[in-house]
Structure 1
């Protein structure tokens, strides 16, 4: 449901920009085209080569929620501005409203890796146009946030709580040995794309929840968001077989922490 809302929000934002441009055409007299000028409004605005729906699908399928943002409970919308060049390529990519370093970086990565655009036109000539695209990040259902759950004995307290484990903030959150990039590289290298999913051309993200234990092992692996066609089972296999992590630390001691990460499946 959240992904549908996010996609509709993006489509509405892009469509509104197009409608605003069309309305402005009735009021504005466009000046003579200048070679290097960047237009905020053009007679024929720039659009993705894949169309609005295709572009929204690209952003949703390729978004990788940063681990740091998941751990810190960060979510929201990052607006990315860029210039669509006359060639259809993009340049001058920048974040318009800084939200979170990890989310800002992921939003820029998505825009940089996206499909080309059909350039804007003014008076029958191709022109450069500035475009703003909103990219929404919503915490997946079941994301554990920044705090692991430990008992008072693990945390060094004198007695156990009456209602079970308590939530504490780790001094250092759990993380993959070698870094998150190395972890996702391992996932991609060891991924076996299911034949059924390949046949049906199914791709996207499977969200997997797991617990990083004090010894770094990954346990209690379960699905949060499914795709089907064998992709769910493959995502579970990958996480269960993945290398150990560096555990979360609290008061100098390793403690367990719940994580939610995406396993990306993409047909090349």
Structure 2
């Protein structure tokens, strides 16, 4: 029997999971061993506040690694862990890896998460193995380069099924609404000092809006912006508004941010469109 899988997206499945009493698989076979780990129990472990609150925690506290965004890495990382008798989590491990940076962020989220209500079996508090999916979803267009200058302005989109341009030519991977060519860089734009330094800048310079604080609103604000050839950040806009001043503060932070190292194509700096989350936590 597979480990109990928390149905964050299908909350209606939770009652059915609680009724799994016919078979109990033990990691430790000795029934008197206090360290035994159950995979299924009469009363499964549940996160404090319930599955929906836990799903909200995963969403609002997720810090999408900048390098993963630039590399267009996304997917669902399945994480397995043990809910101890006191409600803490232990033995956290990725069972279905996606990419090293996303895997590491999924583990961080689980370890930093709220306590759980431990599992019960035959009237006793027991340890239980739980699996939780942590999803990383990119905003459309993240990491694309919009290039309009020089010979690339006349480049043609790749034909269906093609994966590379013909020798000696340059092809785009698409076009914008105004007809500008979209290409992929040889080297993506990145923050000066690295991703950690940029997220530290966002955290230390953030001015939490009073209205959002009053309303207890928090979460991620996805901001799209363009890294210009000189490294400046322009054209910042919020992709999905949260309101209460969070959107305006997220845009302000991006506009006031230090310059980045611009994207490179054929040895020349070019502009690149990026999408990053600005995290607001009370």
Both proteins in one fold, TM over 0.5: yes
Q: Which residue of 2 aligns with 1:263?
A: 278
1:42 match: 41
In terms of fraction of residues, the more helix-rich structure is 1
Which residue, out of 237, 255, 258, partners 1:243?
258
Please list the CA deviations of residues 117-168 of structure 1 after superposition, one character each: whole Å capped at 9, or x if unmatched: 111122222221110011222222xx42443122362xxx487348743232
1:215 aligns with 2:224: no
Match of 1:183 in 2: 198
* Matched residue SS, 1:108: helix
C-alpha displacement at 1:57, in angstroms?
1.2
**2:185 is matched with which residue: 162, 165, 170?**
170
Corresponding residue of 1:231: 246
For 2:34 and 2:258, how far apart are their aligned partners in 1? 54
RMSD (CA atoms): 2.3
Structure 2 residue aligned with 1:20:
17
Higher mean displacement: 213-222 or 131-140: 131-140
Distance 1:20 1:198 in 2: 37
Report the count of equivalent residues: 252
> 1:58 maps to which residue?
57
> Match of 1:94?
93
Match of 1:117 in 2: 116
Q: Point out where structure 1 has 5 or more consecutive residues left out of the alignment.
A: 1-7
How far 1:110 moved relative to its partner? 1.1
- Name the structure 1 match of 2:3: none
Question: Aligned with 2:231: secondary structure?
Answer: coil
Distance 1:122 1:147, change over 3 A: same
Q: Which secondary structure state, in structure 2, belongs to the residue aligned with residue 32 of structure 1?
A: coil
Distance 2:47 2:152 in 1: 61
Report SS of the residue matched to 1:96: strand
CA distance, structure 2, for counterparts of residue 55 and residue 158 of structure 1: 47
Task: Tell me if structure 1 keeps the 8 A contact 2:206–2:249.
Answer: yes
Distance 1:110 1:70 in 2: 18
Question: Any idea what SS the aligned residue of 2:8 has?
Answer: helix
Does the CA-based 8 Å contact 2:144-2:274 persist in structure 1? no
TM-aligned CA distance change 1:251 to 1:125, over 3 Å: same
